[in-house]
Structure 1
């Protein structure tokens, strides 16, 4: 009886080793195919990303695309340096867009797997993206929105290079001042003046989260055309802020019940 168990155990070990050997051979073949077919393209994308980031400076991001207007009435800045951006704005973007922002090097493997998992568990619908804030910045400033692997790979390369060149606070500053809020409004302060006719530093938590809701899909969450859509996502931003400990339950309840009234400015 004991000999039979030993033989059975050896047989299982042999099967396991053969299976692992087969898997290793398959992986080597796949890796070789990818290397010879895609490596020249990937290498070229890496070189292109390196050149773009090496040639960029802080001034590359210090623009306002509402057409080169840096201030309003020569006193209110449209571009806000990091120290002038309200902490609630930073926290809201991190909570809804990239909760691990301060813990990754430009690309978040966890975010990519969460995105894939969400597709499998939501009837093959994309419910959350895998792009970090740095990747979004890379796409917005240096690339386009083409949906192909070349653009995605270069986006990741640029994001990694940006993290090596700039600090996290700088990257977040660039992102918040560059992101599109619909209706030709680029940057949080331009959006605040566009939709509430006031500086974003004078907005309350609910209004801030309302604006932070827009960039995910500026057309669908356009507050002038689709106010209810924007309000629903504002509520999600507030939920994420509470979930990640940025606001208390009392702050959440106050903000969720706040009535948003648009006061469009120029």
Structure 2
């Protein structure tokens, strides 16, 4: 009886080994095909990404497009350095956009698998972004919003190189100051002035999360036209902040119940 079990165990191990060998050979063949067919294109995208990141500086991210000016006056800047950005703003973006921001190197492996799965189940169309904050920064500043694999690959190359050149706090600063909030408002402070007519450092938690809700889909979450949509996503932002421990349940309840009233700047 014992001998029979040993034989069965050896047989199972042999089958498992054959399966692993088959998978390994298949992966090698697929990798070889990809390198042969797409190698030159990928190499070109890598070189483009390298050039773009090598040529950029901190000042490359410090040109606020809102109203074609970097400041409304010398004491009232649209661009905010990291130390001037409210902690709730940073935490809200991380909670809703990229909870592992401080853990990855610019690209999230889990997000890549989600994107691959989405492609495989949607007629090979790129329908899901899954981009990290660094990838979004790369796309917003250096690329465009075309949904194709070339843009996505170059976006990933740029993101990993940005992570090597700048600190996490700098990347988050660049992102928050360059993200689009619709109605010609680029950056959190421009958005605060546009929708609430005050500096973002004067906003409460609910107002901050209302703004943070917009960039995911600036038209759909445009608070001027679709405030209810914006508030629904604001609630999701608050839920994520509570889930990840950025705010207490009391903070959450207070922000959820706060009535948002826009005060549009002229």
Q: Deviations over 1:134-166 (max 9, x none)?
A: 000000000001111111111011000000000
- Alpha-carbon offset, residue 39 of structure 1: 1.2
User: Which segment is superposed worse, 7-16 or 197-206?
Assistant: 7-16
Aligned residues: 262
2:68 paired with 1:68: yes
* Separation in structure 1 between the aligned mates of residue 258 and residue 205 of structure 2, nearest angstrom: 9
SS at match of 1:176: helix
Q: What RMSD over aligned residues (CA atoms) do the two structures have, in Å?
A: 2.2
Say whether 1:173 aligns with 2:183.
no
Report deviation, 1:7: 4.0
* Bigger mean CA offset, 7-16 vs 175-184: 7-16
Shift of 1:127: 10
Q: What pairs up with 1:69-148 in 2 under 5 angstroms?
A: 69-113=69-113, 129-148=129-148
Looking at structure 2, the residues matched to 146 and 69 of structure 1 have their Cα atoms a distance apart, in angstroms, of 27
Counterparts of 1:175 and 1:25, CA distance in 2: 42
| Greater mean deviation of Cα atoms: 67-76 or 241-250 | 67-76
- SS in structure 1 opposite 2:68? coil
| 1:37-94 CA-partner distances (Å, limit 9, x unpaired) | 1111111111110110000001110011124311114431111111111111111111
Quote the residue 2:250 is aligned against: 250
Return the TM-score normalized by structure 2: 0.92
Q: 1:22 is matched with which residue? A: 22
Distance 1:259 1:235 in 2: 12
**Change beyond 3 A, Cα 1:265–1:19:** same
Tell me the TM-score normalized by structure 1: 0.92
Give 3-state SS (helix, strand or coil) of 1:92's partner.
helix
Judged with a 3 Å threshold, the aligned counterparts in structure 2 of structure 1 residues 84 and 3 are, in CA distance, closer, same or farther, namely closer
Please list every run of 5 or more consecutive structure 2 residues that lacks an aligned counterpart in the other structure: 121-125
Q: 1:157 to 1:65 in 2, by over 3 A?
A: same
Alignment partner, residue 237 of structure 2: 237
Provide the secondary structure at the position in 2 that maps to 1:51. helix
After TM superposition, give the deviation of residue 129 of structure 1 in Å: 4.3
- 2:35 aligns to what? 35
Task: Judge conservation of contact 2:67–2:184 (CA < 8 Å) in 1.
Answer: no
- CA apart distance, 1:10: 3.7
Q: Which residue of 1 aligns with 2:203?
A: 203
